Amino acid sequence: MITGDEIETDSHSILSRIVTILLFLLAQLVATLLIGSVALAVRFEPVWSAEAQPVAFIKPSDARAGSLLLKNDDGYADATRLGIDVDITVSGPTIRARVTQLFRNPTQQWVEATYVYPLPDGGAVDTLKMVVGDRVIVGDIKERQQARVIYEEAKQNGQKAALTEQERPNIFTNSVANIGPGETVLVQIEYQEPVHQSGNEFSLRVPLVVAPRYNPAPVVQTADLRTDGSGWGVTRSDPVPDRDRISPQVADPAENAPVNPTSITVRLQAGFPLGDVKSHYHEVQIESPNETTRVIRLANGPVAADRDFELTWKAAAEQAPSVGLFREHVGSADYLLAFVTPPSVAQAEQKQFAREVIFVIDNSGSMGGTSIVQAKASLVYALGRLRPADRFNVIRFDDTMDVLFPSSVPADARHLDTALSFVNGLQARGGTEMVPAMRAALTDNADADAEHIRQVVFLTDGAIGNEQQLFDTIAAMRGRSRVFMVGIGSAPNTFLMTRAAELGRGAFTHIGSVDQVEERMRGLFAKLESPEVTGLTATFSDAAADITPAALPDLYRDEPLVLAAKLDKLAGSIEVKGRIGDRPWVVTLPLANAAQGKGISKLWARRKVSDAEVARTMRQMSPEEADKAILALALEHRLVSRLTSLVAVDKTPSRPAGEPMKPSELPLNLPAGWDFEKVFGERGHLPAEPTERRADAGGAKTQLALLKRPAVVPAPSTLTLPKTATDAEAKMIAGSILLALGLILLAVNRRQRLAR
């Protein structure tokens, strides 16, 4: 719009106007500067850069050990150190292990140390001792909350205290409060475990490292509506509510020397003349004092705790003992432990049954390195073992999932070729969304095919934190399918494997190195192809018995029946009945001949606790009932469980009032053969969020796949330099350009109007 006024304006007044505008702008600039200086008082937001401080290391458990998150903390150069000694005595059917953890504090501060460590999932932890100087303080069993309170009080009072808590049946945490400058505190825990038997081979396994777990992100809430029809319920929002407690820091092997040196001694008293004794993943020296005893030590001194220790032994005789019966008298009760291996009966030729086998392979980032090689080799071997009459399918998953064929296909050459090239092309990457894969594997849409036996072979390292979700899935969907777990890698999650196999009425096989693939897979296929032992029952002729496992499982070839019982009197006999394939089988064992054993009551109680947990998963027991039963058992038998902890407190305070204490969480090694970058992403950076592809076949629930936050540890002795750039220059340049542009436009505009 042009007014007459403006038309009449002469060039002189334009100039003066531009000058006025410029002056105005200048005044504004000065005002901004002044206001800025004054605003010094008010503004404290970081204005120095758009990008956040580069993250040196992030720990999921910052809530618990916040001070370690300080960006320039002294790393591990002089943080608390740990040494581990494992001393194991095998007496016949039971293993007694003593794990001594030595916490040394080389710093000038008082420290609280926290160490997350694994134990065998069937282990019954019953003793905690703390050694301070020359005093030994023995821990008491308490309810978990109460133990925590006792520990926290002692911590506040400056008393030395140790606390052992169970995070998972195979993950425990030891906390030690008030370790003085330069001091060393020993913490010792002891556990009891039955010897594992498979065919002619006996074995024990000592897990030494908790592998980093993938914890699905809590994106979608699931609602638990009460079944009483009231319409009210609770929402569960996080599949891994205790993610902080099972995600300790992991030292990047490329930047840190291995931590947590461990020495291992095994005194093996098998109770029968020993043949071959072998350690699978560690070099050992074996002494033979007599024909039934061996002493096994690590050959080259302490090793880094980065893989499981596995020892197997065989009897000198060709045939291993197929029956074992052991007893212990505790209090007013007798406890019995029985091992019975059913005879292997060859399947009659004409009765060869057809099978439908669903192979599931985990190709998530945690499988990177040697694990994926083992898994692929195992699967290739398995595909080669299929017979033309069999049907099969292949599922692969990370945080996404692919099902190779829309439904199971005959194992003919064409389909096998497709499957082999699919398997060979797999790469390890991404998160571990195991539940949708299990759900897809258990989805059984071929009722017409009921004459096929349905078997799911699941190859994974089990490195997830939401075990319970997987168990719930199996319990709800197993139908006629049997789940066979194949544990891959140097430190698989054995708790997940055994419990999943138990719920899925299958078996668990572990493959720890590429050399073992063929041998172990052959064993697994013997199980898959042989008739199982079904309908097992155990009855006592005279004694009233509380037997565990409550429902005896079906057995596969070479597997022994292991049962524990609490008896009111040791009299009469036990009769075990069942069917091998379609033939009846029965064996009777007189109790009077049972040999004296040690710690059998603990094993019974530990097994009862597992039963209660399984019953809870299967919804045969309400959570309250199960918890009550677990608590009673654990307190009576002094066992650490989900609901009970061991706590030891030194009566004399050692930390002077007013001295601060620093929490120190001990880092773990990455399990051997793992690829750090595959698990945690590129060093020093957060992993990119995976694309939001859906892994859910059923479509019931979305889980945005978000990789677990990395726990990258900086190299011990190098300093991270702070960020030292501002965007002042950029802003000023951009500002000047815009200002100039604006002024030119204004001037041009003005001139255009004048020209008119």
Partner 1 sequence: MTTPSAPCLALLITLVGIVLLGQGAYIHAKAWVAQLLLERAFARTITTGQPTKPWSWADTWPVARIEVKRLHVSSIALAGSSGQALAFGPGHVELTPEAGERGVAVYSAHRDTHFRFLQDVVIGDEIDVTRSDGKRFRYRVDSASVVRFDASGIDPLRDGYELVLSTCWPFGALTPGPERYVVHAMLMGPGS
Which residues lie near partner 1 (CB under 8 A)? 1-2, 25, 28-29, 32-33, 36-37, 39-41, 44, 46-51, 53-54, 56, 70-74, 77, 684, 714, 717-743, 745-746, 749, 752-753
Q: Cα separations (Å) of 122 from 432, 500, 511, 608, 611?
A: 25, 14, 19, 11, 12
Using the 8-state DSSP alphabet, how is residue 68 labeled? G
Q: Which is nearer to partner 1, 68 or 340 (CB)?
A: 68
Q: Which is nearer to partner 1, 448 or 755 (CB)?
A: 755
Q: Which two tokens stand for residue 658?
A: 């007013």
What is the CB neighbour count within 10 angstroms for residue 307?
24
- Say how many CA atoms lie within 13 Å of 666 toward its Cβ: 30
In the complex, the smallest distance separating the C-beta of residue 49 from partner 1, rounded to whole angstroms, is 5
Q: Which is nearer to partner 1, 323 or 734 (CB)?
A: 734
In the complex, the smallest distance separating the C-beta of residue 45 from partner 1, rounded to whole angstroms, is 9
Q: Which is nearer to partner 1, 595 or 740 (CB)?
A: 740
In the complex, the smallest distance separating the C-beta of residue 735 from partner 1, rounded to whole angstroms, is 3
In the complex, the smallest distance separating the C-beta of residue 742 from partner 1, rounded to whole angstroms, is 3
Residue 463: name the closest of 364, 359, 360, 361 by CA. 364
Q: Which is nearer to partner 1, 412 or 682 (CB)?
A: 682
The DSSP string of 325-378 is EEEEEETTEEEEEEEEPPPP-PPPGGGPPPEEEEEEEE-SGGGTTHHHHHHHHH
The single-letter code of the amino acid at 550 is A
Q: Cα separations (Å) of 487 from 313, 368, 463, 517?
A: 20, 14, 10, 11
In the complex, the smallest distance separating the C-beta of residue 252 from partner 1, rounded to whole angstroms, is 12
**474-480 CB contacts, 8 Å cutoff, 24+ apart:** 474/438, 474/442, 474/500, 474/503, 474/504, 475/503, 475/617, 475/618, 475/619, 477/438, 477/439, 477/442, 477/443, 478/442, 478/503, 478/504, 478/505, 479/442, 479/444, 479/454, 480/444, 480/450, 480/454
Q: Which is nearer to partner 1, 72 or 424 (CB)?
A: 72
Residue 264: name the closest of 454, 84, 67 by CA. 84
Q: Cα separations (Å) of 419 from 128, 398, 456, 484?
A: 51, 18, 16, 20
Q: Which two tokens stand for residue 705?
A: 């796949």
At 98 the three-state DSSP class reads strand
- 195-221 as b/e, with b when 16 or more CB fall inside 10 Å? bbbbbbbbbbbbbbbbbbbbbbbbeee
Residue where the block lists tokens 């092997």: 253
Residue 505: name the closest of 529, 489, 484 by CA. 484
In the complex, the smallest distance separating the C-beta of residue 79 from partner 1, rounded to whole angstroms, is 12
The single-letter code of the amino acid at 278 is K
Q: Which is nearer to partner 1, 592 or 748 (CB)?
A: 748
Q: Which is nearer to partner 1, 44 or 232 (CB)?
A: 44
In the complex, the smallest distance separating the C-beta of residue 612 from partner 1, rounded to whole angstroms, is 49
In 477-528 the beta strands, taken as DSSP E runs, fall at 482-488, 508-511
The single-letter code of the amino acid at 2 is I
The backbone torsions φ and ψ at residue 604, rounded to the nearest 5 degrees and listed phi first, read -60, -50
In the complex, the smallest distance separating the C-beta of residue 429 from partner 1, rounded to whole angstroms, is 24
In the complex, the smallest distance separating the C-beta of residue 255 from partner 1, rounded to whole angstroms, is 10
Q: Which is nearer to partner 1, 14 or 286 (CB)?
A: 14
In the complex, the smallest distance separating the C-beta of residue 474 from partner 1, rounded to whole angstroms, is 43
Q: Which is nearer to partner 1, 688 or 721 (CB)?
A: 721
Q: Which is nearer to partner 1, 588 or 717 (CB)?
A: 717
Q: Cα separations (Å) of 737 from 421, 730, 743?
A: 59, 11, 10
In the complex, the smallest distance separating the C-beta of residue 105 from partner 1, rounded to whole angstroms, is 17
Q: Which is nearer to partner 1, 35 or 323 (CB)?
A: 35
Q: Return the bridge partners of 639, or none.
A: none
In the complex, the smallest distance separating the C-beta of residue 730 from partner 1, rounded to whole angstroms, is 4
| Whether the Cβ atoms of residue 454 and residue 477 lie closer than 8 Å to each other | no
In the complex, the smallest distance separating the C-beta of residue 311 from partner 1, rounded to whole angstroms, is 41
In the complex, the smallest distance separating the C-beta of residue 68 from partner 1, rounded to whole angstroms, is 13
Q: Which is nearer to partner 1, 43 or 236 (CB)?
A: 43
Cis peptide before 549 (omega within 30 of 0): yes
Q: Which is nearer to partner 1, 72 or 352 (CB)?
A: 72
Q: Which is nearer to partner 1, 24 or 353 (CB)?
A: 24
| Whether the Cβ atoms of residue 210 and residue 711 lie closer than 8 Å to each other | no
Q: Which two tokens stand for residue 441?
A: 């594997």
| Whether the Cβ atoms of residue 674 and residue 461 lie closer than 8 Å to each other | no
In the complex, the smallest distance separating the C-beta of residue 654 from partner 1, rounded to whole angstroms, is 26
Using the 8-state DSSP alphabet, how is residue 621 labeled? S
Say how far apart CA 666 and CA 4 lie, in whole Å. Answer: 83
Residue where the block lists tokens 């931590």: 259
In the complex, the smallest distance separating the C-beta of residue 46 from partner 1, rounded to whole angstroms, is 4
Q: Which is nearer to partner 1, 518 or 682 (CB)?
A: 682
In the complex, the smallest distance separating the C-beta of residue 43 from partner 1, rounded to whole angstroms, is 8
Q: Which is nearer to partner 1, 291 or 727 (CB)?
A: 727
- Say how many CA atoms lie within 13 Å of 218 toward its Cβ: 12
3-state helix, strand, coil in the chain (%, to 5): 25, 30, 40
Q: Which two tokens stand for residue 739?
A: 């200002």
